[in-house]
Amino acid sequence: MRPRELRAMEWKNVDFDKKTVDIKHAVIERYEVIKDLRKKPKSYEVIGPTKSASGVRRVGLSDLAIQALLDWRKELNTMPVAMRDSIYVFPNEKGEFRSASSNKCLIQRFVKKAGIQDMHFMLYRFRHTVCTRMFLEGLSIQVVQQMLGDNTSTVVTSIYNHMTQEQALSACDEYYDRINQKNAQKYILD
């Protein structure tokens, strides 16, 4: 999910039995009416449409993700009423969707608590990592594109696929080995 989709995620869109989440909206930025062309208009965030029409999608969740969400739900039940009763999966103290800065602070706390070096950790890096891992596991470009909710396969391959040269060479070697084995059968005489 995109971080803005994650921030807008509602409990009603999570299906624990089917292990899916429906992504239907995202946090978007709106701007006040421009009154003075010399000044940048003020902006504010609201719930709105996903980045593109292909962003509306159903995403499968792993058993680990399902368990994490169930554990988070239990944790929310110990928090103030506004958070506990919020429609959002990751609400702020008022029960509303989290701001980008609030998310960033929360992630930095987890990074510090986990003892991870500060690597300018961002939620979007999870998206890149998942995409690369899906390619390494052999998922087709169409499947990855659908999961990420991107318009074109070009976006997926050019932005999210972080294949190293060693990985590419290894994949080529495996491919050539399969071809060689297949062709070797043709040349074996009885």
Chain centroid to CA 149: how far? 9
Residue percentage of the chain with pLDDT more than 70: 86
Kindly state the tokens that stand for 188: 């074996």
Same domain? 1 vs 48: yes
Q: Note the pLDDT tens digit of each residue in 168-186.
A: 677 777 777 777 777 666 6
Of the residues 101, 117, 133, the one at which a domain ends: 117
Residue 190, pLDDT > 70, answer no
Please indicate, yes or no, if residue 60 is contained in any of the structural domains: yes
The CA distance from 126 to 115, in Å, is: 18
Over residues 185-190, mean pLDDT:
56
Domain range for residue 13?
A: 1-32+40-117
pLDDT at residue 76 in the model: 95
For residue 111, the domain's CATH number is 1.10.443.10
Kindly state the tokens that stand for 15: 């299906």
The CA distance from 8 to 90, in Å, is: 8
First to last CA, the chain: 55
The CA distance from 155 to 178, in Å, is: 30
Same domain? 98 vs 159: no
Q: Which residue has the higher pLDDT, 69 or 115?
A: 69
Residues in the chain: 190
